[in-house]
Amino acid sequence: MNKVFFILMVIGVPLSVIGGFFDWNFILMFFIYCMTIISLANYIRRSTECLAVVVGETAGGLLNATFGNAAEIIIAFFALREGLNTVVISSITGMVLVNLLFAGGLSMLIGGLRFKKQEFDVFKARHNTGLLMFGIVVTFVLPFIFVSRIDKTDIKILSTAFAIVMLIIYLLALFFKLVTHKSVFTGKKGEDGEEEEPEWGKWKAMIILGLATVVLAYVSEKLVGTIEPVGNTLGWSDVFIGIIVVAVVGSAAEYVSSISMAYKNRMDVMLEISIGSTVQTAMFVAPILVLVSWFFNFLPLVFNTSELVAMILAAFMTVTIVNDGDSNWFEGALLVGTYIAMGFGFYLL
Amino acid sequence: MNKVFFILMVIGVPLSVIGGFFDWNFILMFFIYCMTIISLANYIRRSTECLAVVVGETAGGLLNATFGNAAEIIIAFFALREGLNTVVISSITGMVLVNLLFAGGLSMLIGGLRFKKQEFDVFKARHNTGLLMFGIVVTFVLPFIFVSRIDKTDIKILSTAFAIVMLIIYLLALFFKLVTHKSVFTGKKGEDGEEEEPEWGKWKAMIILGLATVVLAYVSEKLVGTIEPVGNTLGWSDVFIGIIVVAVVGSAAEYVSSISMAYKNRMDVMLEISIGSTVQTAMFVAPILVLVSWFFNFLPLVFNTSELVAMILAAFMTVTIVNDGDSNWFEGALLVGTYIAMGFGFYLL
Amino acid sequence: MNKVFFILMVIGVPLSVIGGFFDWNFILMFFIYCMTIISLANYIRRSTECLAVVVGETAGGLLNATFGNAAEIIIAFFALREGLNTVVISSITGMVLVNLLFAGGLSMLIGGLRFKKQEFDVFKARHNTGLLMFGIVVTFVLPFIFVSRIDKTDIKILSTAFAIVMLIIYLLALFFKLVTHKSVFTGKKGEDGEEEEPEWGKWKAMIILGLATVVLAYVSEKLVGTIEPVGNTLGWSDVFIGIIVVAVVGSAAEYVSSISMAYKNRMDVMLEISIGSTVQTAMFVAPILVLVSWFFNFLPLVFNTSELVAMILAAFMTVTIVNDGDSNWFEGALLVGTYIAMGFGFYLL
């Protein structure tokens, strides 16, 4: 799989630069940029993981928790700068739905076709689903219920206050996981993971991380510039582009590794990626974007009802399915089926 | 109990024919039709069960899953043909509420008065509650959140797409239960059930099934014809009639067997009837009616807010109560109490 | 801790009388009344507990269940008489939020800082969370979904009917807990509690209970009289006063004992106080107030959307966290974090 990303990158990066320079057709460039970002996000992810192994578990967990969604944050940053707030909001919805229903469901489905029943550690899973409920409740539902009844300046204050509460809780969650209750979480991980050597050495990983981030930022900026003309030409709405571009492009690398973990029956890691990544979106990426948006157009975290209900349902389905400590192909199919039905609804909006 | 149904049928069928022929008072006929349908639905149910034993578990499960709600589908079919869409939609709400809260709750209450604590297989129960959540979420909530924001032709497409997704998932659920994970489900059933002989032989069951279905169709058509004049005369709204006529009349037979199972402390079978039947309503009956309605007035699956919230609450209460693997009289009383409160609300609407 | 309450009472009661007599500044008096009520509520609580031990478990449970929220009921009674319905409705919201999120969360947080993992009896906890879901669903959500669609006289009938259903279920819950399934509930309580002597003898407790109740009623009436001028002067809305005055003042005594129980690792008692007290609010206090309000301005149990959703979220978070049978500091922090975010939202409303 890593070879595919290597080829995508080797082709994508030069094409992005050359095409941007010679003003190639913007629809062609849009797809080249997407492909390139997918490959670069994979390199960022892998170099982060290598560094995480090198610096030890605590700092490594912190590193994963902050750099894991680097690609999404970078793309969203440029979209914010361009004033594409609807795109950013929809991309958050997209990340939640795709992570939980599509990536999570497909992983359970594919894993379940190979193994009759796949078990995972309920304690860790429940820690994550607890955070998931909390993240979605406070970051997404609370602003929704208050926002319609207060005036504009107060919305800014309220959104900012929620973002800060959320970041504090996110830090506390890391502290809980990496410091006070470390033993509970590392028990099994150690078993699975200790034998694995990091793919790259410390310095190589740092250089790759730095380079990939810089190039990703360059390509993201270009990509965001093509969103509006592409949307107008192909007749795609901002919501649709938000769900596709930032959500899928930014985290495609994670979906691949989530599925491959399920295929290897390492369900704890799979859930950590799929649910953990959604928690990061709600509790880290979204609040960071709110704070960053102070410098551009302020981004209040207010979703429309369809998006909000879809996210709540996705979280609720995941909690219900994860709660019994095992999964099978049918539970995966349920999630994917829900995703397809929702996707169809959003497409028609 | 079967004797009661026999007497009801022996009196009801001739009265239905004669009364219809001589144009007796329509309110009288309305009640005669209801009584007759209740008795015939019982015969359809029993003959289906006999055939299910004869043809083997897999085909039998399929048979139960499709013919189990034959009476509801037949009545709804004639109501659709008459353009009584509100009645059909309300009858779906009614089936969900009555099955989960009233029949389920009354079973737990009566069973719990006899046994201090009634246990059931959590694995099977959770498979059913998982399906229940999914069915209610996708069939009922998703259309609701999208429908208000899209135009009329798209509603038709969306409802149809949801119905198809639902039917596919329903078939997958049967495949899961009857083929790939058969052993998990039949473990205990075999224990309870194998000693039981089918009530009727193969041919007798088939003849009874055929006859009862034909007569039920005849009476249902007559019944539907009386709905509007009865409603006007007695001052009952379409919603109220929907919840009473199709919901209660069509599945009264199931309520009786659900309660009798709880009384015998066979809680797995009781839950299978009560929750399984609701799942069938959401994932099989409702989608089938949407597809069938293409031939008459199209029936979009759009409930009003009260109906929708009532169904969600009913599902949620059931999941909460079933989740711990046992039931007692008080949990039953809770469900029945919720049903009474809701019924009162709908009555005042 | 009891000393603090003693001092508060010894200072507060005379000051309340004297200040009321000499017409001291009403803002000063407002705070004196609050302080006095907090101390008197503590005496009511303690004398009730003593009597509960003396009269035996069944009658004692009944006594706790009815007198436990005496302070809230008395204050709300005078607020109703003054026509301050918004204050009463908000105070119910406040009691739910403060009990579940703030008191419950702070208890888990403080207890969790001392003990790595605090376990509790899942059976009892689930009985309480089941009641909690039911109470919130029927008392709060059902009126909401029906009320917007029916006319004014029917709202009165509906609210009354719901209140009666609720009180019946509450009595059944007591019957379940104190009679039919007594053994399940008293198992552990006996262990912890039997060695404890009641603080006061029977007669002393009865005299204290009587005196404290009378004085509390006197001070409550005075307090309610200052609500409107204080609100106007300090710019506090009725909602804000409702959440502060009745909710926090009326049950401050309980929060203190809930936290101290968690500190002693007696989590069953802590949950009994925190969740049990919320259940009492929903299933006993709220219905009683509806019935009592027949004599003044009728109080329909209709919350605004923000209040309703906040209560549902609070209940849902609690259920999720309690469901696994143990708690830790981070789960407590989650609840407190949610409370802070909500509090901020209500403050800005």
Q: Which residue, among C121, C138, C302, C324, would best test binding to B if mutated, counting the most B CBs under 10 Å from its CB?
A: C138
Whether the CB of B183 is below 8 Å from some CB of chain C: the reply is no
Identify which of C95, C87, C78 has the alpha carbon closest to the alpha carbon of residue C223.
C78
Q: Scanning every residue of chain A, which has its alpha carbon at the shortest distance from the alpha carbon of B124?
A: A324
Q: Can you list the pairs that C199-202 forms with residues at least 24 positions away whose Cβ atoms lie under 8 Å?
A: C199/C46, C199/C49, C199/C50, C200/C46, C200/C47, C200/C50, C201/C50, C202/C50, C202/C51, C202/C54
Within a 13 Å sphere around the CA of A143, how many CA atoms are in the beta-carbon half?
29
Query: Chain B 308-327, CB below 8 Å of chain C: which residues?
Result: 309-310, 313, 316-317, 320-321, 324
What tens-digit pLDDT sequence spans chain C (349 residues)? 778 888 888 888 888 888 888 888 888 888 888 888 888 888 888 888 888 787 776 777 777 777 777 888 888 888 888 888 888 888 888 889 988 998 899 999 999 888 888 888 877 787 788 888 888 877 788 888 887 777 777 888 888 888 898 899 888 888 888 777 777 666 544 444 445 677 788 888 889 888 988 888 888 888 888 888 888 888 777 777 887 777 788 778 778 888 888 888 888 888 888 888 888 888 888 899 989 888 887 888 888 888 888 898 898 888 888 877 888 898 899 899 988 888 888 877 7
CA distances (Å), origin B267, targets B125, B190, B253, B317: 10, 15, 17, 17
CA distances (Å), origin A292, targets A138, A164, A298, C207, C331: 19, 12, 8, 62, 28
Q: Give me the residue from B313, B321, B345 closest to C158, CB to CB.
A: B345
CA distance C334 to C101: 9
Question: Which tokens go with A210?
Answer: 């730095």
Question: Which tokens go with B7?
Answer: 């007497």
Do C334 and A158 lie within an 8 Å CB cutoff? no
Phi, psi of A112 (to 5 degrees): -70, -25
Q: Can you list the pairs that C28-32 forms with residues at least 24 positions away whose Cβ atoms lie under 8 Å?
A: C29/C222, C29/C226, C30/C223, C30/C226, C30/C227, C30/C230
CA distance B240 to B349: 9
3-class DSSP assignment, residue A288: helix
Question: What subunits touch chain A, counting only 3 or more CB pairs under 8 A?
Answer: B, C
Q: What is the DSSP string of B165-224?
A: HHHHHHHHHHHIIIIITHHHHHHHHHHHHTTPPPSS-HHHHHHHHHHHHHHHHHHHHHHH
ipTM associated with this complex: 0.82
Q: Token pair 């034993």 is at which residue? A: B53
Find the largest Cα–Cα distance for chain C: 56
What tens-digit pLDDT sequence spans chain B (349 residues)? 778 888 888 888 888 888 888 888 888 888 888 888 888 888 888 888 888 787 776 777 777 777 777 888 888 888 888 888 888 888 888 889 988 998 899 999 999 888 888 888 877 787 788 888 888 877 788 888 887 777 777 888 888 888 898 899 888 888 888 777 777 666 544 444 445 677 788 888 889 888 988 888 888 888 888 888 888 888 777 777 887 777 788 778 778 888 888 888 888 888 888 888 888 888 888 899 989 888 887 888 888 888 888 998 898 888 888 877 888 898 899 899 988 888 888 877 7
Query: With the CA atoms of A40, A44, A47 and A50 taken in that order, what torsion angle do they form, in degrees rounded to the nearest 10?
Result: -130
Contact A283, A139 (CB under 8 A): yes
Position A196 confidence tier, pLDDT thresholds 50, 70, 90: low
pLDDT in tens, A57-112: 677 777 777 777 788 888 888 888 888 888 888 888 888 998 899 889 999 999 98
Identify which of B100, B73, B170 has the alpha carbon closest to the alpha carbon of residue B312.
B100
Kindly list the residues from chain C whose CB atom is less than 8 angstroms away from the CB atom of residue B344.
Answer: 158, 161-162, 165
Instruction: Say what angle helices A26-54 and A202-234 make with each other, to 10 degrees.
Output: 150
For residue C295, what is the DSSP state?
A: G
Do A150 and C324 lie within an 8 Å CB cutoff? no
Whether the CB of C161 is below 8 Å from some CB of chain B: the reply is yes
Kindly list the residues from chain C whose CB atom is less than 8 angstroms away from the CB atom of residue A137.
Answer: 313, 316-317, 338
Do B317 and C134 lie within an 8 Å CB cutoff? yes
Residue type, A261: M
Q: Give me the residue from B130, B149, B181 closest to A334, CB to CB.
A: B130
Question: What subunits touch chain C, counting only 3 or more CB pairs under 8 A?
Answer: A, B
Facing residues of A119 across strands? A326
For residue B325, what is the DSSP state?
A: S
Mean pLDDT computed over every residue of chain A: 83
Whether the CB of A328 is below 8 Å from some CB of chain B: the reply is yes
Do C169 and B317 lie within an 8 Å CB cutoff? no
Contact A166, A139 (CB under 8 A): yes
Task: Provide the sign of the torsion angle of the four alpha carbons A39, A42, A44, A47, taken in this order.
Answer: negative
Contact B161, A341 (CB under 8 A): yes
Kindly list the residues from chain A whose CB atom is less than 8 angstroms away from the CB atom of residue C313.
Answer: 137, 141-142
Do A329 and B180 lie within an 8 Å CB cutoff? yes
Contact C216, C48 (CB under 8 A): no
Query: Chain B 258-317, CB below 8 Å of chain C: which residues?
Result: 305-306, 309-310, 313, 316-317
Identify which of C312, C301, C333, C340 has the alpha carbon closest to the alpha carbon of residue C143.
C301
Q: Token pair 């966290």 is at which residue? A: C321
Do C337 and A157 lie within an 8 Å CB cutoff? no
Query: Chain B 213-242, CB below 8 Å of chain C: which residues?
Result: none
Do A162 and C341 lie within an 8 Å CB cutoff? yes
- Which residues lie below 8 Å from residue B102, measured CB to CB, with a gap of 6+? B255, B335, B336, B339
Kindly list the residues from chain C whose CB atom is less than 8 angstroms away from the CB atom of residue B345.
Answer: 142, 145-146, 158
For C84, other C-beta atoms within 10 Å of its C-beta total: 24
CA distances (Å), origin B314, targets A266, B86, B104: 36, 21, 11
Q: Give me the residue from C306, C330, C340 closest to A176, CB to CB.
A: C330
pLDDT in tens, B134-154: 888 777 888 888 877 777 778
Q: Scanning every residue of chain A, which has its alpha carbon at the shortest distance from the alpha carbon of C319?
A: A130
Alpha helices in chain B (DSSP H): 2-21, 26-54, 57-67, 70-81, 85-97, 104-114, 122-135, 142-147, 152-175, 182-193, 202-234, 238-242, 250-263, 267-280, 286-292, 305-322, 329-348
Q: Which residue, among A142, A171, A320, would best test binding to C if mutated, counting the most C CBs under 10 Å from its CB?
A: A142
Whether the CB of B162 is below 8 Å from some CB of chain A: the reply is yes
What are the sequence ranges of the domains in chain C? Answer: 2-348
Whether the CB of C170 is below 8 Å from some CB of chain B: the reply is no
Q: Give me the residue from C316, C331, C349 closest to A150, CB to CB.
A: C349
Instruction: Say what angle helices B250-263 and B85-97 make with each other, to 10 degrees.
Output: 0
pTM for the model = 0.84
pLDDT at A183: 72
Q: What's the gap in Å between the CA of A329 and the closest CA on chain B? A: 8
Q: What's the gap in Å between the CA of C345 and the closest CA on chain A? A: 6
Q: Token pair 């894993």 is at which residue? A: A111
Q: Which residue, among A127, A134, A154, A166, would best test binding to C if mutated, counting the most C CBs under 10 Å from its CB?
A: A134
CA distance B12 to B219: 10
CA distance C282 to A247: 42
Q: Per CATH, the architecture of B2-348 is what?
A: Up-down Bundle (1.20)
Whether the CB of B174 is below 8 Å from some CB of chain A: the reply is no
CA distance B213 to B202: 16
Whether the CB of C142 is below 8 Å from some CB of chain B: the reply is yes
Q: Give me the residue from A306, A321, A329 closest to B145, CB to CB.
A: A306
CA distance A126 to A260: 22
